[in-house]
Structure 1
């Protein structure tokens, strides 16, 4: 039976699930929803995730959405090799790291994409937002370095859940030139992760998708027309407001090219 993952290669949340499936040797197919980014959700994707967000996983008669819930489903459905550490305390620790990455870290790199790829804030306003982002990433990298300590892996003795929770996001920041220094403890950890086929394949897919976005003017044109809308949900909205991007939000709402979480009707 084929496992299907609705995803976008640039989504670090989707990358988490792909890395987990590949680590466990689970065969799966990936599908990027046709209407993704428009705010319109239909068909099998809507049935799998009424919020209209990637990732969503279908395994036979079972549909699961939200990257962390999907990770739990993967771990319980294919328990070998185990990705979660052994003790309750260790499991709680990696899940707390995951929460920070899913909320605070992702919001920063998402905001950087708004400025650098979609030109939401040209000139001094954009530079101010990027400066805020760089400072925030420095703080998070310092925190991650403390969490890693002297270990090779966030998960403990071996690569696992904690590392999968971190690596897609750090690679996203690295793509913007804001990753950890290569010779730092965190930078060396990134190299160890990229030596794993599960990570390197997902990273290559993301890089190819990023090139397609930046090399084509079609997406920017769709954004300008309102046909493509960027989702400003919870932590992303908070980041833009507290980092000085209120005018970005106001302009996007006026232009009709931002959206919020899909309403269930």
Structure 2
């Protein structure tokens, strides 16, 4: 049973099957941020613990309680916090921050809706829409590669990986999406990413 987080260091409240929470888990591992993890069940007879809903009344993961006690309850906002200047996750030069933001926007605005339709309302048109979104992401990753910002893994990679990993498992990537394949392989080879992979997982709705 999960207990209330300690106030003495960063505390990560999660469910390991959630892709939004996996974003933050990857970022914590890759940034080297000291943290403690508390896993909560989001469904089931026991309900959500009161200490968790006090932190986030929406009852959603992830939640990060920083070492100084600030509560951040949105995966992208947590990534921004962990990728602040001088963090290992900050977009490295010569990559512009706009390039990293563009990949995050493609995943959030194009891939996630297309993936949801392809799973919940499968049809040739839905699959074609998903493949088109993946080709856009492949084009965005072609330069400079292998990661979103070149040789260094950054917050954009942590943001995108959980969703693209799930799509790859279920649908595969389009033929010829070499940059996307290389990116996914490079991310999955990292110890900080591998530490977050689980056998059972959710989609994102």
TM-score band, normalised by shorter chain? 0.7 to 0.9
Corresponding residue to 2:66 among 46, 59, 64: 59
Question: Residue 30 of structure 1 aligns with which residue?
Answer: 37
Unaligned residue ranges in structure 2 (runs of 5+): 1-7
Distance across 2 between alignment mates of 1:36 and 1:79:
38
Residues 79 and 11 (structure 1 numbering): CA distance in 2 closer, same or farther, change over 3 Å?
farther
Once the two structures are TM-superposed, the CA of residue 110 in structure 1 deviates from its matched residue by 3.9
Distance across 1 between alignment mates of 2:42 and 2:152:
39
Question: Residue 50 of structure 1 aligns with which residue?
Answer: 57
- Higher RCO (C-alpha under 8 Å, 6+ residues apart): 2
Q: Does 1:132 align with 2:140?
A: no
TM-score (norm 2): 0.79
Question: Residue 141 of structure 1 aligns with which residue?
Answer: 134
Question: Residue 195 of structure 1 aligns with which residue?
Answer: 189
Once the two structures are TM-superposed, the CA of residue 186 in structure 1 deviates from its matched residue by 1.2
Map Cα deviations across residues 59-115 of structure 1 (whole Å, 9 max, x no partner). 242111111111122223x9432432347x8112212321221243223334455x4
SS in 2 for 1:209: coil
**Retained in 2: the 8 A contact 1:55–1:65?**
yes
Once the two structures are TM-superposed, the CA of residue 42 in structure 1 deviates from its matched residue by 5.2
Q: Does 1:75 align with 2:83?
A: yes
Residues 132 and 2 (structure 1 numbering): CA distance in 2 closer, same or farther, change over 3 Å?
farther
Question: Residue 5 of structure 2 aligns with which residue?
Answer: none
**Retained in 2: the 8 A contact 1:182–1:188?**
no
Q: Does 1:19 align with 2:10?
A: no
> Higher helix share goes to which structure?
1
**Retained in 2: the 8 A contact 1:101–1:166?**
yes
Q: Does 1:97 align with 2:103?
A: yes
**Retained in 1: the 8 A contact 2:143–2:150?**
no
Distance across 1 between alignment mates of 2:38 and 2:89:
26
Structure 1 segments of 4+ aligned residues over 6 angstroms from their partners: none
Once the two structures are TM-superposed, the CA of residue 2 in structure 1 deviates from its matched residue by 3.4
Question: Residue 3 of structure 1 aligns with which residue?
Answer: 10
Residues 162 and 130 (structure 1 numbering): CA distance in 2 closer, same or farther, change over 3 Å?
same
Distance across 1 between alignment mates of 2:17 and 2:53:
20
Larger Rg: 1
Number of equivalenced pairs: 195
Distance across 1 between alignment mates of 2:98 and 2:44:
33
**Retained in 2: the 8 A contact 1:170–1:179?**
no
SS in 1 for 2:15: coil
Once the two structures are TM-superposed, the CA of residue 41 in structure 1 deviates from its matched residue by 5.5
Question: Residue 263 of structure 1 aligns with which residue?
Answer: none
